[in-house]
Amino acid sequence: MALLWHLSFVLVWNFLGASAAIFTFQNKCPYIIWPATSSGAGKPPLVNGGFQLGPAQAATINAPTGWSGRFWARIGCTFDPSGKGRCATGDCGGVLQCNRAGSIPPASLAEFTPNGTQDFYDVSLVDGFNLPISIFPSGGTRNCGSVICAADLNRACPPELVVAAGNGARVACKSACLAFHQPQYCCTGAFNSPTKCKPINYSQIF
C-alpha cells in the first residue's frame, strides 16, 4: 500500500566529523507525533527528552561528540501546559520531556552508538512496534547504509499482541516477550544465547 510510505518517522543523521552529529526528525505521518529520546549512561539529555512534531514537520537536534542514545515516537498524547499527561503509545511516564526516562514498551526504537572510528545504528523492535522508523545517514566517511523499516506491522500483528486505542484502532504491537513473559520469547533462562533462542513464529512477524 503506497500510503505506508507516508506513515513513518524518519531520522536523517548528519555526521559532523569526530562523531558530533545533527539529527533531523521528519514526521511523515498524517497526525502529530511526540518524538522522545533517552541518552546512554553518562551522556547528556537532548532537548530535555521530548517535543511535539506536527504532520509534515521537521526538527533538527545537535548531538555533542560521542553522544549515544535512542529515539522513539509517541502517539496519541495529551499534555497539560506544565507538560504532564499521557500517550497512547511510547509514553515515558506521563511527561512531555522524558529526560532520562525510557519508553514504556511497545515502541519502535532508533538506536545510535557512535564509536570513534566505527559508529553503530539500528532500528530495534525488541520492545515491540508502534510505527515505522527509517534512518538515513549522510556525510559519513564510511559506506553507511540506510535503515528503512517501512511496513506498518500493526496490520500484521496477531490479536494476542495487539495494543488497541479506546476506539479499537491498532496502535502498537507487543513483543511476545512482553505479552507472555516466557523464557523462549525473552531469550532468558535456558534460552539465553543465540544458539538456543532461534527466530520463532512471533519474532518472525517482526
Ligand X SMILES: *[C@@H]1O[C@H](CO)[C@@H](O)[C@H](O)[C@H]1NC(C)=O
List of residues contacting ligand X (CB under 6 A): 115-116, 158, 201-202
At closest approach, how far in Å is the CB of 98 from ligand X?
A: 24
At closest approach, how far in Å is the CB of 178 from ligand X?
A: 15
165 alpha carbon, distance to own chain's centre: 19
- Of the pair 79, 180, the CB lying nearest ligand X is at 180
CB 38 within 8 A of CB 84: no
- Of the pair 73, 176, the CB lying nearest ligand X is at 176
At closest approach, how far in Å is the CB of 206 from ligand X?
A: 12
Q: What is the gyration radius of the CA atoms in the chain, in angstroms?
A: 17
Where are the strands (E) in 1-80, listed by range?
A: 9-15, 21-27, 33-39, 58-63, 69-75, 78-79
CB 10 within 8 A of CB 26: yes
Nearest Cα neighbor of 110 from 30, 173, 26, 53 is 26
- Of the pair 150, 160, the CB lying nearest ligand X is at 160
At closest approach, how far in Å is the CB of 202 from ligand X?
A: 6
At closest approach, how far in Å is the CB of 132 from ligand X?
A: 21
- Of the pair 166, 199, the CB lying nearest ligand X is at 199
Task: Count the helices and strands in the chain (H runs, E runs).
Answer: 3, 13
- Of the pair 202, 206, the CB lying nearest ligand X is at 202
Question: What does the block give as the cell for 108?
Answer: 519502535
